[in-house]
Amino acid sequence: MGAWSRPATWPTAAVRSRSCSPNGGAGTPAVWATATLTLALPKVGLLDAPSAGELYLADISVPPLVYQRMGITIPELFRQSSLLRIGP
């Protein structure tokens, strides 16, 4: 078998707030990640998406005032670490 047939490991990052399909599941075709990194706040479509694998949340230093102006109240998520595991 050629090298092309071996499983590959690629970093993934969440770039959308929901999955592409209407029901919130993975679209077709889809990447089934071992782990996914999402930035700033958890994305609704990733929280129970089996295609996301282990889900991590990273701090990108969004000022609290940004969330206040959007009417979003959030807890201090990154008090102890700038990277949190939030999913399975």
pLDDT in tens, 53-68: 899 999 999 999 999 9
Q: Is residue 40 part of a domain?
A: yes
pLDDT per residue over 12-42, tens digit each? Answer: 665 554 444 445 566 666 678 888 888 999 8
- Tell me whether residue 24 is exposed, middle or buried, using C-beta atoms within 10 angstroms of its C-beta: 0 to 12, 13 to 18, 19 or more: middle
Q: Is residue 7 part of a domain?
A: no
pLDDT at residue 42, as a whole number? 86
Q: Which range marks the domain in which residue 72 is found?
A: 33-88
pLDDT: which is higher, 13 or 72:
72
- Tell me whether residue 2 is exposed, middle or buried, using C-beta atoms within 10 angstroms of its C-beta: 0 to 12, 13 to 18, 19 or more: exposed
Backbone angles phi, psi at 85, to 5 degrees: -90, 120
| Total count of residues recorded for the chain | 88
pTM: 0.70
> Residue 39 corresponds to which amino acid?
L
* Domain count within the chain: 1
pLDDT at residue 32, as a whole number? 80
Q: Is residue 52 part of a domain?
A: yes
